[in-house]
A and B are shown apart, each in its own frame.
Chain A
Amino acid sequence: MRYIIRRVLLLLLTGWAALTINFALPRLMPGSPIQVMAAKYTGRLTPSALAAIAQALGLKNKQNVFVQYWTYLGHTLTGNFGYSLSEYPTKVSTLLAQNLPWTLGLVGFATVVAFVLGTFIGAVAAWRRGSLFDSIVVPTGMMLAAMPSFWISTMAIYFLSYKLGWFPLFGGSSSGSLTSVAGLGSILSHAALPAMVLAVISLGGFMLVMRNTTVSVMSDDYVKFARAKGLRNFTVASRYAARNATLPVVTNFALALGTVVAGTIFVEYVFSYPGIANLLYIAVTSEDYPLMQAIFLVIVLAVLLANFVADMLYVVLDPRIRVGGRA
């Protein structure tokens, strides 16, 4: 119970920290980049819209910072992110709702594939430590972990899409209707390459962590005892070693998720995928600060929630946490 309470507190604290960073950054920066932005958009936006945005970003310093902070918290928690500058008068929330499903599909698929495949390969490599398979897995895992995701995406699109024509070149779909059978096929064929690239990028970390923790676990007494009892190799590997080795992998989920998020930003950018990460890039390059702030928050909150779920999964996997108060 203590463990769960601590995790909930950490979730709230990190959520609050993210909100506060988002509020403080534009106000802390030297040389007021927001004034530059305001000058850029003057004439394109109505004065009242500009005034509202300026207020949201802390450009009007007449108001007390604490009052601004309070208004900001209220607006953010009710999902009121204001208007996008580059797509004015579209609301930021509308853009988010349009782009979010694409990213969720891409990331969901890639993470599950990378996790399942990565832990499996890692466990097998550890079990056959010193074998040919292991000596291929370790350097490959390190190469994958060091692989610049933007580069592997560029290479994949150049050779597989442009040269060989196996996959569409860019975008999320080329069909007008998204709900028909043809539309669905188009969505899947467009998602195939970016999803595979993202899965490959995320694979290395899971693989290495699983291999190393399994290696440590295998020298533990209970594994030796299980072997001494004469249990079948497969039973020892899957029920004794792998199950305990999965715990640190779940703990390392936070790190792995960072790789996935970074990978998504590059993959969506290179493939011009209509997801939220590409939207972040567009917002940054067009100095659309309200949109950028909202996307940053959405990404951070999604990561925090995923981590929280991983922590709760830990409770299911490890009975010690449920019984004792050990965190």
Chain B
Amino acid sequence: MKGFLHNKKALAGLSIIVFFGLVALLAPLLDPYNPNDFNFMPWLGPSSAHWLGTTGQGQDELSWLLYSARDSMLIALSTAGVISVVQLLFGIFSGYTGGLTDGVLSTVTNVFLVLPGLPLLIVIDAYLPNKGTVTTVFILTITGWAWGARVLRSQAISLRDRPFMEAARMSGERRWRIVLFNVVPNMFGVLAANFFGAAVYAVLTEAGLLFLGVINVNTISWGSMLYWAQAGSAMLENKWLPMLLPGVCILLLGTGFGLLNFAVDEVADPRLRRG
């Protein structure tokens, strides 16, 4: 943990995430207007009343931009959380149990690893009648769990034969106790790295699906801001700020989670550290 806070990448990543976290929490206070207020003139340019102008539907762009931090943070953290739980269960069952269970589960992972995620997401979405946040987290989990699961599995396998595990088994510890107190704590490093990796994936993928308009575009979100800019031909109106800024936010938030992912890896694997 001490090494983590001395790591430059970790500090940079953490600052970005804390910044967006604060914006998300304080959005109602920071917002000059309600982002769902459609009562302004559409496509106004930047002015003192509307710093970033208004959308094609007559909403205040700045309010939309700030409030969107909520949606991305919510999707990132909840998807990463669900994916981590799935990966942990999977890694333990597959790696620690071994045998036929492992064979079947590994094959399932391999299948999901090679299936291209975005087309699958789009096709599932096309059939889904209801497209709320829970559905989004659910489908992001389906397409995003496999990558980290494999890493957790190899970690579980390497733990299985360590002396302290042997000792725990010999002393007659119950199986769930061994898993809970000996296996899980030793997986925290990998699990944390995977968590941040999944968060990057969730932020980018959700924004992409919103941009394409295949999930609910009425969500106040950076992806939907880009969707409406595209749908309302912001380009022809020369409104480049509403196209530039949401992308910058997505990029920054994604980079923040990515830096944390990288930093955890470095702290856990000394070989990656700067020599």
A interface residues (Cβ-Cβ under 8 A, vs B): 10, 13-14, 17-18, 21-22, 25-26, 29-31, 33, 129-130, 138, 142-143, 145-152, 154-155, 157-159, 162, 212, 215-216, 219, 254-255, 257-258, 261-262, 265-266, 269-270, 280-281, 284-285, 287, 289, 292-293, 295-296, 299-300, 303-304, 307
Contacts and interface: CB of A to CB of B under 8 A. Distances in A.
A155 B244 contact: yes
B107 interface: yes
B118 A262 contact: yes
Contacts of B163: none
B1 interface: no
Interface in B109-132: 110-111, 113-120, 122-129
Contacts of B117: 258, 262
B145 to A, nearest CB: 14
B111 A17 contact: yes
Given A145-B200, A266-B212, A280-B119, 18 more contacts: A13-B107, A13-B111, A17-B115, A25-B123, A29-B129, A31-B129, A129-B274, A130-B274, A149-B208, A152-B247, A158-B240, A258-B117, A269-B212, A281-B212, A284-B123, A299-B119, A303-B115, A307-B114
B123 A14 contact: no
Nearest to B273: A215
A297 to B, nearest CB: 10
A79 B123 CA distance: 20
A266 B258 contact: no
Interface in B60-81: none
B207 A284 contact: no
B272 A280 contact: no
Interface string B239-275: 0100110110011001101110010000000011011
A142 B271 contact: no
Contacts of B274: 129-130
A25 B115 CA distance: 15
Contacts of A157: 235
Interface in B85-113: 107, 110-111, 113
B192 interface: no
Interface of B: 107, 110-111, 113-120, 122-129, 147, 200, 204-205, 207-208, 211-214, 226, 230, 235, 240, 243-244, 246-247, 250-251, 254-255, 257-259, 262, 271-272, 274-275
B122 A146 contact: no
Contacts, number: 149
Nearest to B128: A29
A157 B147 CA distance: 33
A148 B251 contact: yes
B122 A147 contact: no
Contacts of A299: 116, 119
B271 A219 contact: yes
Given A146-B200, A296-B123, A266 B129 contact: no
Contacts of A296: 119-120, 123
B233 to A, nearest CB: 11
A254 B258 contact: no
Given A25-B123, A129-B274, A162-B235, A148 B247 contact: yes
A146 B251 contact: yes
B208 A262 contact: yes
Contact of B255 (A14, A142, A216, A287): A142
B118 A258 contact: yes
- The 8 lowest CB-CB distance pairs between A and B, nearest first, are A151-B247, A146-B254, A262-B118, A31-B129, A29-B127, A261-B116, A150-B211, A284-B126
B258 A142 contact: yes
Contact of B230 (A130, A138, A154, A254): A154
Contacts of B243: 151, 154-155, 158
Contacts of A158: 235, 240, 243
A17 B107 CA distance: 11
A233 to B, nearest CB: 17
Contacts of A33: 126-129
A279 to B, nearest CB: 12
22 contacts: A10-B107, A29-B127, A30-B129, A33-B128, A143-B255, A145-B258, A146-B258, A148-B251, A151-B226, A151-B246, A151-B250, A154-B230, A154-B243, A162-B235, A215-B271, A254-B113, A258-B117, A261-B118, A261-B119, A262-B116, A284-B122, A303-B116
A129 B211 contact: no
A293 to B, nearest CB: 8
Contacts of A293: 123
B69 to A, nearest CB: 15
A292 B126 CA distance: 9
